[in-house]
Amino acid sequence: MSDPIGQLVKGVVDGSHSDEEVVEWLHGIFENGLDGESTIRLTEAMRDSGEVLDWPSEWAHLVVDKHSTGGVGDKVSIPLAPALAACGAKVPMISGRGLGHTGGTLDKLESIRGFKVDLTSAELRTQVEQIGVAMVGQTDSLVPADKRMYALRDVTGTVASIPLITSSIVSKKSAEGLAALVLDVKHGRAAFMVERAQAEALARSMSEAANGMGVATSVVLTTMDQPLGCAVGNALEIVESVETLCGRGPHDLEELVCVQGGLLLVSAGLACDLAEGALKIHDSLNDGSAFEKFLQMVQAQGGDPSDFESDHSMLKSLGLLDKELLSTELFAESAGSVSDIDAMTIAQACLELGSGRQSLGQEIDRGVGVILEAQVGDSVDEGDPLLVIYHRGELPAGMSQSLTDAFTLSEGEVELQSRITDIIR
């Protein structure tokens, strides 16, 4: 007897099912859900709707990747992938473009002059084999079922379904031929899943599906109330990623890179436990090996590694020394300790400046964004700098005050909290 889920996915790809039939089915899942076994079958059918990458048996167990549900200033992938490669893992990282406040990983990488994200499967395989890492966009041959299903979900209000989110994400990651995967599932006011309970439900669904398909998967639950790191904006986030690759990154970003990387090294057999794995990633950020892998990747994908020889050449190549790019610094209106920074206010300002897109295909401005000069836990006096806005032309009315008000100042010391609220293995 044929599998009805497999038959429906086949009909999605070959066009034998009409949009109306597919939407009816999607609505059924949206309203009634799917059990765990059916979610795995759906995810497998979507993965198998197109090409599935395979790797040489002698190092297939080293092939790893990560996925994040996204957030404000979330640039973890960019330092993490080269760091993993420096530690002996193989990372065929297939990423996307962002809708919303800033671009996705591909948009950030395209801030690098000449960087090419459109590689064929053969080019991807060769690069991963030779240098251990590639960061590219999804090809049409990978998971074609998801492209049509997501487009229909987007216009019919059926995006926010845990089984459908699970099958969309995990099918694309498993099509990379992974041995191990780490998922960064965020919760908080600037996260896709605001409530922790929602995030945990999604995390467990994705973990069960991926593990059920033979991909060793861990989940890190992390908060997304304040921006991650200090930079929000595409080119600005590349600068901060390079700083992190050179051991000079902000503590919260480095923590996520080391923990997520450590989990993957354990899964790939490259570390005995999380402590050893996290230390290996940390060492790669401080001994130059992760940065060297990044430079090799830049060169392999059409960029010029010499653009990163000095801070000046990097800023110039990323367009951050463009004379048309203006900067405005904002200052504290009173003294106190920074106890909160509203990530959504930062995100909306960056979107208004042009750092993100509100529709597919919309052009974005990779140079604009903000740099936080004070972070949670810092003490500031009246008149101390809070952030710098990079913009073109006059700032929108009210933006300066809105961004100043995004900082909450309190009396006394503020205890720093880890962004990690749980690790599910």
Each residue of 22-38: pLDDT tens digit? Answer: 999 999 999 999 999 99
Boundaries of every domain in the chain? 60-308, 326-410
Q: Over range 152-169, report the average pLDDT.
A: 86
Amino acid 280: pLDDT: 98
Q: Is the pLDDT of residue 158 over 90?
A: no
Amino acid 101: pLDDT: 67
Report the share of the chain in percent with pLDDT over 70.
Answer: 98
Amino acid 97: pLDDT: 73
Q: Is the pLDDT of residue 311 over 80?
A: yes
Round to the nearest angstrom and report the end-to-end CA distance of the chain. 35
Look at 63-72, 128-137, 192-201, 355-364 and tell me which has the smallest mean pLDDT.
355-364
Q: Over range 46-74, report the average pLDDT.
A: 95
Is residue 423 within 8 Å of residue 220, measured between CB atoms?
yes
Q: Over range 313-340, report the average pLDDT.
A: 96
What's the CA gap between 310 and 292, in Å, rounded?
14
Each residue of 110-151: pLDDT tens digit? Answer: 999 999 999 999 999 999 999 999 999 988 888 999 888 888
Report the share of the chain in percent with pLDDT over 90.
Answer: 83
What counts of helices (H) and strands (E) characterise the chain? 16, 13
Going by C-beta distance under 8 Å and a sequence separation of 6 or more, which residues neighbour residue 340?
Answer: 225, 226, 376, 407, 408
**Confidence category of residue 1, pLDDT binned at 50, 70, 90:** very low
Picking from 188, 241, 84, the residue whose alpha carbon sits closest to that of residue 93 is: 84
Q: Over range 415-421, report the average pLDDT.
A: 94
> What is the DSSP secondary-structure string of 314-379?
HHHHTTTT-TT-EEEEEE-SS-EEEEEE-HHHHHHHHHHHTSS-SSTT----TT-EEEESS-TT-E
Q: Which residues are catalytic?
A: 65-68, 105, 153, 168, 172-173
Look at 178-187, 279-288, 347-356 and tell me which has the smallest mean pLDDT.
347-356
Amino acid 105: pLDDT: 92
DSSP 193: B
Record the pTM: 0.94
Quote the CATH superfamily of domain 326-410. Answer: Pyrimidine nucleoside phosphorylase-like, C-terminal domain (3.90.1170.30)
What's the CA gap between 319 and 327, in Å, rounded?
13
Of residues 202 and 100, the one with the higher pLDDT is 202
Is residue 49 within 8 Å of residue 10, measured between CB atoms?
yes
Q: Over range 288-303, report the average pLDDT.
A: 98
For the chain, what is the radius of gyration of the CA atoms? 21
**Confidence category of residue 157, pLDDT binned at 50, 70, 90:** confident
Amino acid 98: pLDDT: 64
Arithmetic mean of pLDDT over the chain: 94
Of residues 262 and 148, the one with the higher pLDDT is 262
Picking from 114, 119, 126, 122, the residue whose alpha carbon sits closest to that of residue 90 is: 126
Each residue of 194-213: pLDDT tens digit? Answer: 999 999 999 999 999 999 99
Amino acid 2: pLDDT: 61
Q: Taking CA 228 as the corner, what is the angle to CA 225 and CA 232, rounded to the nearest 5 degrees?
A: 110
Q: Tell me whether strands 369-372 and 231-232 are parallel, antiparallel or unpaired.
A: antiparallel
| Same topology between domain 60-308 and domain 326-410 | no
The CATH architecture that domain 60-308 belongs to is: 3-Layer(aba) Sandwich (3.40)
Of residues 44 and 356, the one with the higher pLDDT is 44
Amino acid 35: pLDDT: 92
